[in-house]
Amino acid sequence: MTPLIGADDPPVAEYLPPTYCPQLLLICEHAGLAIPKSLGRLGLDPQLDLAEQHIAWDIGAKAVALGLAEHLGAGFIWQNYSRLLIDCNRRPLSAQSIRQDSDHIPIPGNHGLTAAEKAARVEDIFMPYDALCQRHMARQDITLTISIHSFTPEMDGEKRPWDMSLLYREGEQYAKQMAAILAASEPDLHIGFNVPYQVTEDTDWFVTQYAEPRGIAHLLIEIRNDQLRSEAGIKTWVERLTQATQIMLGRL
């Protein structure tokens, strides 16, 4: 089988090493929009602007995570390929790993895949990303890890009112601590918990496979993406989360 990732394609994942805060590791699973040249646009309409589609990536998430890394001097791992190929925050080959449609948009290039074609996406995209994360998560100096995501303001006709959400399973204390820190300076900030989805073995990889097994303090942050569609909005969130994370690090 022809290699999925060609010489002219971007690397699967990248790592920005810490400068002065090695105890914090930032992760952005849905940072990129890349699709291997061998797969074209997965059969999607050429008129569909993938950069505007929440199904293709988490809009604004990488910019926020990178801003945090730069402000805090933290390490940062991001994944460059579109979640339309394979979702690197889902259990490989689970129902949400390689989707045939997303938010009612069919993904033709994901229809009728053979077992070998699915395995190639796991081996060539998911596994290198996962290996990079596992390697850095295993460092003994990591005391806090944060995964940054964004969500669409509306799904299936239902408005999502939260400015942000904190998702957790065993790490409720960390989510509640961050929420309290944020609320202390911005009481009107609408913070949700375990919305717009909940952490399970099939709907999450970061919490269930990286943070919880190691007992590391962790946060999975979701930001409503209409607040991340401008440089000003991204700057606001970077400053907000930088201040809150500094406080939280001081309390761990």
> What average pLDDT score do residues 64-71 get?
99
Between CA 39 and CA 187 the distance in angstroms is 47
Count of CB atoms situated within 10 Å of the CB of 15: 15
- Amino acid (one-letter) located at 143: T
> Using 50, 70 and 90 to split pLDDT, how confident is the model at 2?
confident
Q: What is the mean pLDDT of residues 184-189?
A: 98
Which tokens go with 193?
A: 């918990």
Residues 6+ apart with CB under 8 A from 1: 116, 120
C-beta of residue 165 within 8 angstroms of C-beta of residue 193: yes
In angstroms, rounded to a whole number, what is the distance separating the alpha carbons of residues 217 and 225? 25
Rounded average pLDDT over 33-54: 96
Pull the structure tokens for residue 160. Answer: 């999502």
CATH of domain 13-251: 3.40.630.40
Q: Quick one: which of 169, 224, 216, 218 has its CA closest to 192?
A: 224
Average pLDDT for residues 118-132, to the nearest whole number? Answer: 98
* Closest of 193, 201, 244 to residue 220, by C-alpha: 193
Domain boundaries defined on the chain = 13-251
What letter does residue 123 receive in the DSSP assignment? Answer: I
pLDDT > 90? residue 41: yes
**Predicted structure pTM score:** 0.97
Whole-angstrom CA distances from 218 to 169, 182, 239 are 10, 16, 19
**Is 90 exceeded by the pLDDT of residue 3?**
no
CA atoms within 13 A on the CB side of 88: 35
